[in-house]
Structures are given as structure tokens and as C-alpha cells.
Amino acid sequence: MGRDPEYLAFMRNRLAEPAAPGRGVQDARREHAADLARSPRPPVHTVQDLVMDGPAGPLPARLYRPASTAPVPALVFFHGGGWMLGDVDSYDPVVRALTNASGVAWVSAGYRRPPEDPFPAALDDAVAATRWVAAHAARLGLDPARIGVAGDSAGGQLAAAAAGRLRAPGPARPVLQVLVYPALDLRRNPPQPPDPDGLVFPPSGADRALRAYLRGTDPAHPDVSPLLDPDPRGLPAAIIATAEHDRLRPQAERHAARLTDAGVPVTLITGTGLDHGFLGWSAFARRPAEAVADIGAAVHRALH
């Protein structure tokens, strides 16, 4: 089905904006940050910058904690941006909205990015960040027994792969994985499906991002393509949110089916009428706001 009229008007206006020339990596990072900076930053009870121990040095992070006198559940969040773009500050509006929608704490964790640092740097950092949050939960006012991982797009790939690495019983094993329009099969860049509303999207740059991220790594390795995990049993419960008009939707749906068949509890949130990237648009149209509310409600149910 197509998009609702309000959201369709938003997308047409968005796609009508002229593309910036000369998109080197640094230019693309600034453009991506400027796009996210348009969103308001709603108030959250506690917002605290952190520095975590990473395998190659300190990692930036930011804690978002709702008001509570008791330790609260938390999700360690890895931002999207095709592995190369995005950072903790640019995703601040997104994580504030998710915190308010879910009523749980979120720890937005930075990670090393390609082309400077290809695979497995980002995944190693994601695993280290999750372990660090679990080890420091009491000091941060978090419940160490209710800590999960989350991410959108490339960050969803990192969250799923980190959940796989940390599945063995232990204090850092996530109790939940929240994957929002995740990239789960990096063997190829899937084609964009025909658009029901005739929208024409600019080139995604996904092939360039994959080359920079993998730099010769086998894309069929489960740490790269979590959809290919040979034995999904023992993975944490999952909330998987898709976008109807997203080229990544089929692989997210296949992943949800594989987890379900393996006995892993799955909540699938279908982003009807939505596009890849909707987390950043909840302040501008009703449908993205509804999807963020749905994700927040599912997280609240899972962690409470």
C-alpha cells in the first residue's frame, strides 16, 4: 500500500531538497548530522555524557534515564548511518524520543567507523560497550538483570551481531535485542522495490559503505550477516521493526522467522507505509511518530 497523505507530502518535500555536491566522507558526515539536527531535542529526566572503555581506547556515550527512584532497565544503542556516518551527538534527538516512548534508559554508544577503522572495529566496540554498561549498571542507576542492545540500520546489524557474540550466559548477556530496519545480510545490496507513490530516491551509497566496512571480510560470516547465524537458539528475545518501503525489509522478516523457528520470542513491528530512516522523522509526521510509539511500547512491555 502507499503512504498516507501527510507523510507522503513530508517525503516529497524531503526528496525535493537539492543534494550537496562533492560528498566525501567528512562532507557526508556533516550533512547527515545537519539533517538529524533539524529534529527537536525533547527533555529527558537525566542526560549524562559518559566515557566507556573500548578495545582501542575510550568510547563516547550518553545516558538517557527516565525519572525513577529504583534501578531501571536499559538498552545499549548503536546508531545507524551506514557504519561510516552518525555519532552520539547527532543521534541525540532520536534517542531522546525513544527514551520517552519506552520509559526505560538508553545508553547511546559511539563506535569506530570506516573507512578509518573497518570491520571488526565497530562490532568489537559494540560488544565492549555492552559489557561496560553491564559492569557499571549500579553506578548508573540501571538494573543489571535487564540490559539489552538496540540499533537502527547499520546499528541494527551491530546490535544483532553483538547479541550473537554475547549469547553465552554471563552478566553481559543481553536480555533483549531491538533491531530497527536492520541490515542483516551483507552479502549483497538488495534492489530498491518499486515505489507505489512514484517517489524517486537518490543513490543510497550502500555499496561504497559495504566496501569500506568489510574491506575484504567474508560477508557470509555471522558477525557480518547475522541472518546467517547457523544456530539462532540461545539468542535473546527480539523486537524487530521494519519499514514497508525499505529494501532491507525482506531480510528483517526472514530473520524474525528464523528466530521464531528457533524458539526465540519475537515481536515484529511492521512500519506500514514507512521508509528506511523513519526514526529521525517522528517530529515531522504522524506515521513515524506512531511507529516510534509502537517501538517504545514494545520495549516497555519486554523490559518491565
Contacts of 216 (CB under 8 A, 6+ apart): none
- Of 79, 245, 255, 276, which residue is the catalytic one? 276
Helical pair 5-16 and 286-303, crossing angle rounded to 10 deg:
110
Alpha carbon 246 to chain centroid distance? 15
Based on the residue annotation, tell me whether 246 is a catalytic residue of this protein: yes
Cα 193–chain centre separation = 22
Annotated active-site residue 136? The verdict is no
pLDDT of res. 93: 98
- Arithmetic mean of pLDDT over the chain: 96
Give the pLDDT band of residue 194 (cuts 50, 70, 90).
Answer: very high
Among 108, 153, 225, 282, the one annotated catalytic: 153
Rounded (5°) CA angle 297-105-256: 50
First-to-final CA distance of the chain: 34
Task: Kindly report, residue by residue over 68-101, the tens digit of the pLDDT.
Answer: 999 999 999 999 999 999 999 999 999 999 999 9
| Complete domains list, the chain, with CATH | 5-303 (3.40.50.1820)
Q: Which of 87, 117, 229, 246 is catalytic?
A: 246
Contact assessment for residue 63 and residue 45, using Cβ atoms and an 8 Å cutoff: no
Interval 4-48: pLDDT, tens: 999 999 999 999 988 666 579 999 999 999 999 999 999 999 999
